[in-house]
Structure 1
Amino acid sequence: MTEKLRDCFDEMVVYKDLKKSNFFSALGLPSFLRDWLLKKFADDEGNLDIDELTDFIRTYLPNKEEWVRIKDRIINDNERVKLLTKISVDISIKTGEITFSLPDFGLTNKETMIDVSTWDQYRGELISGQEVWGVVELGYRPPDDTAKPKIPGKIRLTGFTNFCPYTIDLDYYKDVRNEFTTSEWIDVLLGAIDYNAGGYESEEQKLSMLTRILPFVEKRLNLIELAPKGTGKSYVFGHVSKYGLLTDGGKVTRAKMFYDTARKTPGFVTGHDFIAIDEVKLVQFGDVNEMRSIMQGYMEYGQFNIGGYEGKSDAGIIFLGNIAQDNMDEWQNMFSELPSLFQESALVDRIHGFIKGWDIPRMNDDLKLSGWALNSEYFCTILHELRNDVSYRAIVDQIIDVPDRADTRDTEAVKRIATAYLKLLFPNVRSARDINPKGFQQYCLRPAVRMRKIIKRQLGILDVEFKGKDVPSFSLKEIPYEN
């Protein structure tokens, strides 16, 4: 299959050797950045030019501890310094002033500026997301104490090069899926997120792992995964995609998640495809009643109102936690170890599905990829683009037969998860007639129902109102399959 993969995707395939303890491991780079470097500095056989790569990293990827030295070069030596990093832009409503921040280096909007001419040149790329990756060029505007009012010194953005220099051809990606069997395509997807398909014992294990990336491809998909330690939850949600955010536990407040009224700044949910809250068992949610109210509304409608600020986002909320082995039983109360936020059915009902983390094998050397695979940066950009394609949901609405008096939240949850599976596993589907009914049942509908069933069972344990209630029996309408 390697030859087919390279023929079909050409430059979007890189050689990933994750079994070796090379210097990429020491750098701790996210997958999308590592693969960008591999694409830039590896030859057609996957061999790296170590000297060129080392020079590039030394020049453009300094450690955070070097920030003082970098500021010295910019301010005192009047140098133009280039860094490969993420940048966040802001425009003041009161003054119209355009500023930026570099989150990885602690540089804030109060210390920066963007000239109108620079903004006009790079505006389209800089406003493509809340945080954008690229090579930033930094200069300095010195202070002027003679001016009235005094002009403070600020770091200027003088140039920007997009991190993604190629054009995404979504239609090509959809069409090329036809060249692979479903089994082969599952292996392609695993390689794209750094996993060796040959290290899994069954297709069921492979699909369990891929369930984690459903929020990458479907808007406002809310999931919870409870699992043993060491299965790679944090890696998938925190290192694979530049479009998501993994919180590091601790305290998760309304200001952090949604809107900070003191600073008048939006929170995590704005500008990201998903927010994964790690170590949820240990998280403190600030004012629990406030968080529960806002979280419930957001998970239902994708909107929130805080102090008159109307917020809207498409980010899914993912809860990740480790629980005791004895509690890994969908027929028992698995939420007993979780914070009080999860002890009321209203919020739990808004979680679309449950990921059984104990079905995913603990990370081992056999699961580390050593071979050709899709560039993670390219792959996750594809998934990001697929989020906006509403045709898949229209197809799911067309083919799933919903029984009378079906619970609305159950129906929405199953359809949303099934749509995500369809985009992930069968992106080549363009109409209902393209769908193989057996394949859709096996890989999309049944897994979606299973994931929702676990949530429903937990609801029955938490709240007597849900006791004995099950997910409706969804079926497929008879639509001729053209193949």
Structure 2
Amino acid sequence: MTALDDKINSQFPGLVVRKDLVKQVKGNAIVPTYVLEYLLGQYCATDDEASIESGIETVKEILRKHYVHRNEANKIQSDIKERGRYKVIDRISVVLNEKTDAYEAVFENLGIKKVAVDSVTVKENPKLLVTGIWCIADVQYEFSEDSRISPWILEHLKPIQIANYDFDAFLTARAEFTLDEWIDVLMQTIGFNPEAFGRRSKLLQLMRLIPYVERNYNIIELGPKGTGKSHIYSEFSPHGQLISGGEITVAKLFVNNSNGRIGLVGFWDVVAFDEFAGRDKTANRALVDIMKNYMANKTFSRGVQTMGAEASFAFVGNTDHNVPYMLKNSDLFEALPVQFHDSAFIDRIHAYLPGWEVDVIRGEMFTSGYGFIVDYLAEILRHLRSDDLSNRHQAFFSLSDSISTRDRDAINKTMSGLMKLLFPAGGETQEEVEELLKLAIECRKRVKDQLKRIDATYPVVEFSYMTKGGMKTSVQTLEEIQFPAFYHKSLSDDEDDGAVLEEQPQTETTSSPSVHNTVRAAPKVNTPAEPTPSEDHVVVSENQKGISFDKLFGSYLRGATEIKLTDPYLRVFHQMRNLMEFIETVVKFKAPEDDVNIHILTSPDDTRMEQQVQYLEQVQQSAEAAGVRVTWEFDGTGTIHARHIITNTGWKILLDRGLDIFQRFEMNDAFSLANRIQEQRACKAFEVTYVKAEK
């Protein structure tokens, strides 16, 4: 157990569970995570190993006896008949039989229909009438000679949801965690290992929760396959409903005018549309129009009557192309069906979550630590839906006057959701709010910038904010920083964009005069024009790609025969791999006939000194064959913090992160481009300053 695990267990006793237990008990049961964690919460909400082991066996036994596998449905039906009554765990829905004026339940896995259910049960659980809910139910069998009477009777039903919670106690306990700790608690709750994610990546994951805390919030996430886009909406909460994008109808989503029955938006907090993308898909134009009206006004029509609802929409789908391709040839919404690739529909989306920044899910990303029982957190998030924190950031910042009302509302709703997730009881600092505000503005700016490409009548908007002291900061999307030539390209341009990514300007968004920074590309073979090193300052954003040691250092290392690298953290494997890749850059940019001496000053790893020395010796032996002589020394004072490179050609390169600039990636996967090409890796946020020093 980590210190964070200890803390969450002490602050939320009985409300947390070890997240790897779900896999242990699930087996081949096809049930949502919240169902399993509900059961684990009854028996395993503790950090006592003996109790956990006993609880796991109890839950396994409950699932073995009462969860209905479809291939065992006949056997369970027989057990019910022979015993007269039996408890089952199944997904249950209810329909009204108008001929008999009675409600009838359908058990999805058990495969029985026309199960008699009383009106009181239906009134207490109206979601039974929509898409059904997971329940623990007592089913009775009473045979009748009358063939019109079904022998199946639903005697008792209990939805799989937490019975009660203390919201004030939740707020009190939250105050005991720092923001970093709380973010990690939420990450572990949704099943992820926080150490496998950078700060921005964590916030992007948590943005998927905003529809659960914010009413009538519309978010879209488009990106590559396998990034877990739909997981939150299918597994996390009993208040969310995931449906296939191809199954949307007016009757299912809003209202069936033939019988007046309200659709999904009337019963669920979140309606998520899976596989929403696909240019070959079609949608009913009337449906699109009703959705646009609902997304803008929170209302829909039921005949001549106008009705309101609170359901948030989440649209998730896969992209067909990478980001620069979309920016060059179309727009970031290109994957949407034609009917939804509509400026009025897109303008009603509050935030575009960049799915291409989310890593494909790997085994190492899952946590074995503790997190909330998801059903408990789902109830807390539902409670927070009634709060409005959209103006809390205004204590520190104000949005630019050029931002329209619709854009402003979108940013405010995203901020409200983030504040509810991270600061439900307040206590935020200006610095913490600014980080969230930049993200909220960026996610709306991504929508508006693409609208400008789709429909030229949309005006150019300056997305910026100001402090109370009048200091102004402009916000850019990461794609804008990474691919400026494509991002600001009009779709009507016929220019040959060839290899425009050779230079990528990085603009530091501060209140001071902007600094034009350039990440220089590695020189091309047989290209006479090579970048000339000059004093400069480079700012790289978190999750930015297209960065390499060749671009950062190559031209500054050319011609150097003496290089000194100071980096206190050259210890573990990935740090030593970074060192080896730095030496590769030195080899590429030196003349074949030259010898280069690299001297390394680093700090000793007192816990693994032998391994550290072994790594350095391996680096030394490998580099020598290429004409690079590596020496090193350990700083015995433990006081070095500066990280820099000094060459005998007069350059000093200041590195705020040293060589450790890349996010985690799968280093053992030979088929991963990120493993083989630095430009394919997501970066941590860092800065590099180039200073011409005396030789």
TM interval, shorter chain, is 0.7 to 0.9
Find the aligned partners of 1:394 and 1:23 in 2 and give their Cα distance: 44
What is the deviation of 1:214?
1.2
Structure showing greater radius of gyration is 2
Q: Deviations over 1:206-251 (max 9, x none)?
A: 1111111111211111011111111111222211122111123434
Q: Retained in 2: the 8 A contact 1:252–1:284? A: no
Find the aligned partners of 2:428 and 2:56 in 1 and give their Cα distance: 46
The alignment's TM-score, normalised by the length of structure 1, stands at 0.84
Q: Retained in 2: the 8 A contact 1:82–1:137? A: yes
Q: Secondary structure of the residue that 1:55 maps to in structure 2?
A: helix
User: Could you tell me which residue of structure 2 aligns to residue 205 of structure 1?
Assistant: 201
Q: Which moved more, 1:95-104 or 1:179-188?
A: 95-104
1:29 alignment partner AA: V
Q: Deviations over 1:19-70 (max 9, x none)?
A: x964525324322122222223436223354543332112221113333444
Q: Secondary structure of the residue that 2:242 maps to in structure 1?
A: strand
Q: Retained in 1: the 8 A contact 2:17–2:40? A: yes
Match of 1:375 among 357, 363, 373: 373
The alignment's TM-score, normalised by the length of structure 2, stands at 0.60
Q: Secondary structure of the residue that 1:370 maps to in structure 2?
A: coil
1:55-454 equivalences under 5 Å are 55-74=61-80, 76-77=81-82, 79-88=84-93, 97-103=102-108, 111-115=114-118, 119=120, 125-127=124-126, 131-140=132-141, 142-143=143-144, 145=146, 152-153=149-150, 155-200=152-197, 202-262=198-258, 264-282=260-278, 287-308=283-304, 310-327=306-323, 333-390=331-388, 392-393=389-390, 395=392, 401=398, 404=401, 406-429=403-426, 434-443=427-436, 445-454=437-446
Find the aligned partners of 1:254 and 1:360 in 2 and give their Cα distance: 32
1:437 alignment partner AA: Q
Find the aligned partners of 2:376 and 2:83 in 1 and give their Cα distance: 36
User: Could you tell me which residue of structure 2 aligns to residue 461 of structure 1?
Assistant: 453
Q: Note closer, same or farther for the CA distance 1:465–1:355 as it changes in structure 2 (3 Å cut).
A: same
Q: Deviations over 1:268-299 (max 9, x none)?
A: 32311111111112387765311111110111
Of structures 1 and 2, the one scoring higher in RCO (CA 8 A, sep 6+) is 1
1:61 alignment partner AA: Y
What is the deviation of 1:387?
1.1
Find the aligned partners of 1:106 and 1:348 in 2 and give their Cα distance: 41
What is the deviation of 1:453?
0.2
Q: Secondary structure of the residue that 1:174 maps to in structure 2?
A: helix
Q: Note closer, same or farther for the CA distance 1:306–1:283 as it changes in structure 2 (3 Å cut).
A: farther
Match of 1:8 among 8, 11, 27: 11
What is the deviation of 1:184?
0.6
User: Could you tell me which residue of structure 1 aligns to residue 53 of structure 2?
Assistant: 47
> Gaps (5+ residues) in structure 2?
470-695
Find the aligned partners of 1:457 and 1:426 in 2 and give their Cα distance: 30
Paired positions, count? 458
Q: Retained in 2: the 8 A contact 1:251–1:286? A: no
What is the deviation of 1:398?
7.2
Find the aligned partners of 1:355 and 1:423 in 2 and give their Cα distance: 18
Q: Note closer, same or farther for the CA distance 1:396–1:212 as it changes in structure 2 (3 Å cut).
A: same
Q: Which moved more, 1:368-377 or 1:280-289?
A: 280-289
Match of 1:35 among 29, 34, 37: 37
What is the deviation of 1:142?
4.8
Q: Secondary structure of the residue that 2:248 maps to in structure 1?
A: coil
Q: Retained in 2: the 8 A contact 1:274–1:315? A: yes
Find the aligned partners of 2:299 and 2:416 in 1 and give their Cα distance: 22
Find the aligned partners of 2:23 and 2:429 in 1 and give their Cα distance: 43
Find the aligned partners of 1:51 and 1:388 in 2 and give their Cα distance: 39
Q: Retained in 1: the 8 A contact 2:326–2:334? A: no
Q: Note closer, same or farther for the CA distance 1:269–1:400 as it changes in structure 2 (3 Å cut).
A: farther
User: Could you tell me which residue of structure 2 aligns to residue 26 of structure 1?
Assistant: 28
Q: Note closer, same or farther for the CA distance 1:80–1:282 as it changes in structure 2 (3 Å cut).
A: farther
> Gaps (5+ residues) in structure 1?
479-483
Q: Deviations over 1:317-347 (max 9, x none)?
A: 1111111343367855022232112322110
Q: Retained in 2: the 8 A contact 1:214–1:420? A: yes
Q: Which moved more, 1:29-38 or 1:227-236?
A: 29-38
Q: Secondary structure of the residue that 1:59 maps to in structure 2?
A: helix
What is the deviation of 1:362?
1.5
Q: Note closer, same or farther for the CA distance 1:313–1:72 as it changes in structure 2 (3 Å cut).
A: farther
Find the aligned partners of 2:63 and 2:110 in 1 and give their Cα distance: 16
Q: Note closer, same or farther for the CA distance 1:327–1:209 as it changes in structure 2 (3 Å cut).
A: same
Q: Note closer, same or farther for the CA distance 1:204–1:241 as it changes in structure 2 (3 Å cut).
A: same
Q: Deviations over 1:344-386 (max 9, x none)?
A: 2110000111001122222112211112222122112211221
Find the aligned partners of 2:259 and 2:281 in 1 and give their Cα distance: 19
Higher helix share: 1
Q: Retained in 1: the 8 A contact 2:222–2:319? A: yes
Q: Note closer, same or farther for the CA distance 1:329–1:183 as it changes in structure 2 (3 Å cut).
A: farther
Find the aligned partners of 1:388 and 1:91 in 2 and give their Cα distance: 32
Q: Secondary structure of the residue that 1:343 maps to in structure 2?
A: coil
RMSD (Å), alpha carbons:
3.2
Q: Retained in 2: the 8 A contact 1:217–1:420? A: yes
Find the aligned partners of 2:58 and 2:252 in 1 and give their Cα distance: 40
User: Could you tell me which residue of structure 2 aligns to residue 481 of structure 1?
Assistant: none
Q: Note closer, same or farther for the CA distance 1:260–1:365 as it changes in structure 2 (3 Å cut).
A: same
What is the deviation of 1:312?
3.0
Q: Retained in 2: the 8 A contact 1:251–1:285? A: no
Q: Note closer, same or farther for the CA distance 1:336–1:287 as it changes in structure 2 (3 Å cut).
A: closer
What is the deviation of 1:104?
5.4
Find the aligned partners of 1:303 and 1:138 in 2 and give their Cα distance: 39
Find the aligned partners of 1:301 and 1:65 in 2 and give their Cα distance: 46
Q: Secondary structure of the residue that 2:158 maps to in structure 1?
A: strand
Find the aligned partners of 2:200 and 2:399 in 1 and give their Cα distance: 26
1:36 alignment partner AA: Y
1:218 alignment partner AA: E
Q: Retained in 1: the 8 A contact 2:116–2:150? A: no
Find the aligned partners of 2:324 and 2:35 in 1 and give their Cα distance: 35
Find the aligned partners of 1:179 and 1:428 in 2 and give their Cα distance: 11
Q: Which moved more, 1:80-89 or 1:373-382?
A: 80-89
Find the aligned partners of 2:397 and 2:111 in 1 and give their Cα distance: 49
